[in-house]
Amino acid sequence: MHDLIIIGAGPAGITAAVYAARKNMNLLVISKDVGGQAAISGDVENYTGYQFITGPELALKFEEHMRGFDIALKENEEAVAVEKTGDKVTVKTNKAVYEAKSVIIASGKRSRELNVPGEKEFRNRGLTYCATCDAPLFKGKEVAVIGGGNSALDAGLQLIKIASRVYMINIGPDFTGDAVMRKKVGESGMVTVFSDSKITAILGDKMVTGIRINRQSKEQELAVQGVFVEIGLIPNSEFAEDIEKNRYKEIKINSSNETNIPGIFAAGDVTDIPEKQIIIAAGEGAKAALSAFGYMARTSWPAK
């Protein structure tokens, strides 16, 4: 029986682990990967203390910090159910079943899919959801970025340094991302923007050869060798069946990171906090660990 199980090792989960370790909690971290979305973020210019650092570098620093403590970590493991019975919480994964007095869910978000013909067939055959991971594979090639928010702009900015031409396909009339990124994309001279345009198919034979878009009710095809899907994120909260969520499937928490179930806490992008950023997720992870520690102190330790 652990004191605390943390699900997820992105900025929220890692920071929670560091705080819990410093409180000497008997701790287990279960995660599909280490670093989370931070490890695939491009240039990070808003993490205090670093005027500039890349996402992968920052994620590595988080990981090194966590590994500096003697923390049990189950990597490449996925939580599939979390249940509270009596005083204990059971976490079922794709490999085993674990028990703890408390749990922090810090499972973040994942990329939303397009759901158009060709998407599944050409996934990893020219179609990708991660510019930071895959942009270098498209050196000198023509590529399309689908989306209009910060993730799409971030992908576009990475690709203008690598690809020969970048098309940005945006369903809305204007980009919705940060003004600084919008300006950089506009000034690059490398990006052709298709606004009010909906992607209707990914085309190809063995690999991607193009996309079909519907622009102002007219179908047209663009020849590209790469497609970067950047249309938003959905919370990894399906396994937390009994836990209350909002209409976006984000876990509802209070200011102490408590969910509707005592002993189960949540932190970071998977929750209904309004802003999704690395520094915020890290701070939320710290808060959640301190709340879990307080819960343990109240419920497990005899009063003196």
Show which residues are catalytic. Answer: 130, 133-134
Residue/partner pairs of 130-134 with CB below 8 Å, 24 or more apart: 130/40, 131/42, 131/155, 131/158, 131/159, 131/228, 131/230, 132/39, 132/40, 132/41, 132/42, 132/55, 132/56, 132/158, 133/40, 134/226, 134/228
Binding mask 128-157 for ligand FAD (x = CB under 6 A): -----------------------x--x---
Among 169-177, 193-201, 254-262, 274-282, which window interacts with ligand FAD (CB under 6 A)?
274-282
Minimum CB distance to ligand FAD, residue 22 (Å): 18
| Cβ–Cβ under 8 Å, residues 138 and 155 | no
Identify the residue among 13, 156, 226, 263 touching ligand FAD (CB under 6 A): 13
Nearer to ligand FAD, 181 or 296 (CB): 181
Q: Name the one residue in this structure whose structure tokens are 């790469």.
A: 226
Instruction: Report helix, strand or coil for 2.
Output: strand
Binding mask 193-222 for ligand FAD (x = CB under 6 A): ------------------------------
Among 30-38, 166-174, 194-202, 205-213, which window interacts with ligand FAD (CB under 6 A)?
30-38
Q: Is 41 in the site for ligand FAD (CB under 6 A)?
A: yes
β-bridge pairing 233-235 and 109-111: antiparallel
CA atoms of 87 and 84, how far apart (whole Å):
7
Among candidate residues 272, 254, 274, the one with its CA nearest the CA of residue 264:
254
Binding residues for ligand FAD, rule: CB under 6 A, are 7-13, 30-33, 36-38, 40-42, 44, 46, 78-79, 106-109, 151, 154, 236, 239, 268-269, 276-279, 281
